[in-house]
């Protein structure tokens, strides 16, 4: 079996080299309305003219018809990770290699206006991650209906192929992952500002809505979600400020669970090492409104990048005859620097000198990253018995550093280290031992 996986990986790497000169691999994100705008020369425009027939490269492989206005396209990516836990006396973390993500996708476009997109996931819980219909009518007004990422958490909206670290930071614990719903979205104010407004089924925080390899709503309510993100100085003459982006996201809805096991409709909280560090006590369940708010920032200038977000989630939770409003908070600050051969980007880095079969001596781009993140769970929830301090950490503080090597747009290697300190979470209310994890990743996208 090991030899078979090795063959698959080698074949995928060779195929990635073959198409890397022109390919723009499919991003793992439903937020495709966020497009970079750049001026094209007349030669580039001619090159980009779509002709009918089969194609490979430029976002995968597929077939075009209707004078190139319609197409079907296959894409996807694979991530092979390793995790090594240090000073793990309780053996809470498992060392070894895992297939973190295998996510093939299919997209069909009709007459440049309508499209159908589906992406499956083959990981710990296989199933359909995204499946939606989309109408792109004008820049200010477009519509999407189906299952996809709600427009809320900044790092959640970022493609998994573009993450600076193997795992997302603590604010993602409090944000929605995938939900079934509908949204309108577009670009306004001279393309400086994007907006998204939608109604969704209100899934549990950080839930991908997978169960039994099918689409699962995993909810009992409805959420209103809205987000606006602006680059206010995009058209200014100050190059240093053009890459500044500021935004805010908000959601409000209801969640209703019960004391029956498996029907609590409450989230669990996980560490960077993907270990459960906190969960509500048995018998507690969602019972009323839930609202979230998340100010967010992304800035880039040349090789330098900065990502920041703060999220607060307030939810009515009941145990016995008492209902409390629980407020949990998280934030992160992330810095990145492309040492050579590339510029910082919210999407995957495009090396200026990528490795290809024609340019086998190229080194690609190297990126250095660091991150600090914290998670605070409501102290009153511990006082009122919704959390058990012997099992749940009141607070978690994570610091990480890493290096990412983009050989080209298709092949990426990652190495990062995260160390997380906890307050309480162990027997007698003592502090849970620190989590120290070394991650590595090989990513192949096509």
The pLDDT tens digits for 193-214 are 999 999 999 888 888 766 544 4
Confidence class for position 17, pLDDT limits 50, 70, 90: very low
Averaged pLDDT of the chain? 87
Section 386-412 average pLDDT: 96
Find which of 59-68, 203-212, 213-222, 264-273 is predicted with most confidence, using mean pLDDT. 264-273
**pLDDT tens-place string over residues 305-337:** 999 999 999 999 999 999 999 999 999 999 999
Work out the percent of the chain whose per-residue pLDDT is above 70.
85
Domain residue ranges of the chain, discontinuous segments joined by +: 2-445
**pLDDT tens-place string over residues 363-397:** 999 999 999 999 999 999 999 999 999 999 999 99
Q: How big is the CA angle at 108 (ends 103 and 112), to the nearest 5 degrees?
A: 130
Find which of 52-61, 123-132, 135-144 is predicted with most confidence, using mean pLDDT. 135-144
Higher-confidence residue of 56 and 212: namely: 56
pLDDT at 413 over 70: yes
Higher-confidence residue of 369 and 32: namely: 369
Short-list 62, 43, 44, CA closest to 53:
62
pLDDT for the residue 86: 94
pLDDT for the residue 446: 83
pLDDT for the residue 98: 93
pLDDT for the residue 412: 96
Query: Taking the complete model, does pTM exceed 0.85, yes or no?
Result: yes
pLDDT for the residue 290: 95
pLDDT at 162 over 60: yes
pLDDT for the residue 434: 95
Q: For residue 226, what is the enclosing H or E element? A: strand 223-230
**pLDDT tens-place string over residues 239-249:** 999 999 999 99
pLDDT for the residue 59: 65
pLDDT for the residue 437: 97
Confidence class for position 51, pLDDT limits 50, 70, 90: confident
pLDDT for the residue 38: 39
* SS3 call for 340: strand
Could you name the CATH architecture of 2-445? Beta Barrel (2.40)
Return the C-alpha torsion angle 219, 259, 375, 181, nearest 10. 10
DSSP states along 162-199: G-SSSS--GGGGGS---EEEEEEEEEETTTTEEEEEEE
Higher-confidence residue of 216 and 406: namely: 406
Higher-confidence residue of 191 and 8: namely: 191
Section 96-112 average pLDDT: 94
27, 19 Cβ separation under 8 angstroms = no
74, 57 Cβ separation under 8 angstroms = no
Q: How far, CA to CA in Å, does 258 sit from each of 175, 205, 245, 382?
A: 22, 17, 41, 20
Q: How far, CA to CA in Å, does 329 sit from each of 269, 307, 377, 387?
A: 12, 17, 7, 15
pLDDT for the residue 45: 47
pLDDT for the residue 206: 85
Find which of 119-128, 207-216, 402-411 is predicted with most confidence, using mean pLDDT. 402-411
């Amino acid at each position: 079996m090991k030899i078979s996986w090795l063959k698959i990986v080698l074949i995928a790497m060779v195929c990635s080299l073959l198409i890397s000169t022109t390919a723009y691999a499919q991003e793992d994100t439903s937020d495709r309305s966020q497009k970079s705008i750049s001026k094209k020369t007349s030669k580039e425009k001619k090159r980009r003219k779509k002709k009918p027939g089969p194609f490979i490269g430029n976002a995968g492989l597929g077939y075009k018809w209707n004078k190139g206005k319609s197409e079907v396209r296959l894409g996807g990516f694979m991530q092979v990770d390793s995790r090594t836990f240090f000073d793990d006396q309780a053996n809470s973390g498992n060392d070894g290699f895992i297939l973190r993500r295998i996510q093939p996708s299919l997209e069909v476009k009709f007459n440049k206006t309508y499209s159908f997109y589906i992406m499956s996931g083959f990981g710990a819980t296989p199933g359909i991650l995204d499946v939606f219909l989309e109408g792109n009518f004008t820049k200010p007004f477009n519509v999407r209906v189906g299952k996809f990422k709600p427009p809320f958490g900044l790092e959640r909206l970022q493609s998994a192929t573009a993450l600076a670290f193997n795992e997302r930071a603590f604010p993602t614990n409090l944000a929605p992952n995938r939900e079934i719903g509908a949204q309108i979205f577009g670009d306004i104010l001279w393309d400086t500002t994007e907006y998204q407004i939608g109604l969704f089924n209100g899934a549990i925080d950080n839930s991908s809505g997978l169960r039994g390899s099918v689409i699962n709503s995993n909810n009992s309510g409805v959420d209103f979600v809205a987000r606006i993100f602006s680059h206010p100085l995009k058209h200014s003459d100050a190059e240093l400020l053009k890459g500044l982006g500021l935004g805010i996201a908000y959601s409000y809805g209801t969640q209703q669970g019960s004391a029956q096991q498996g029907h609590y409709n409450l989230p669990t909280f996980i560490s960077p090492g993907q270990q459960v560090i906190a969960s509500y006590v048995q018998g507690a369940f969602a019972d009323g409104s839930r609202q979230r708010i998340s100010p967010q920032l992304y800035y880039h200038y040349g090789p330098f990048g900065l990502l920041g977000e703060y999220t607060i989630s307030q939810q009515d939770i009941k145990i016995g005859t008492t209902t409390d409003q629980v407020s949990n908070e998280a934030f992160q600050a992330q810095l990145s620097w492309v040492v050579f051969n590339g510029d910082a980007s919210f999407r995957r880095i495009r090396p200026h000198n990528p490795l290809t079969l024609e340019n086998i001596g190229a080194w690609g781009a190297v990126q250095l990253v660091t991150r600090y993140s914290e998670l605070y769970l409501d102290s009153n929830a511990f006082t009122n018995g919704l959390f058990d301090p012997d099992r749940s950490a009141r607070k978690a503080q994570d610091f990480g550093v890493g290096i990412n090597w983009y050989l080209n747009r298709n092949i990426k290697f990652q190495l990062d280290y995260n160390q997380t300190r906890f307050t309480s979470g162990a027997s007698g209310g003592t502090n849970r031992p620190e989590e120290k994890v070394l991650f590595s990743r090989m990513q192949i996208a096509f």
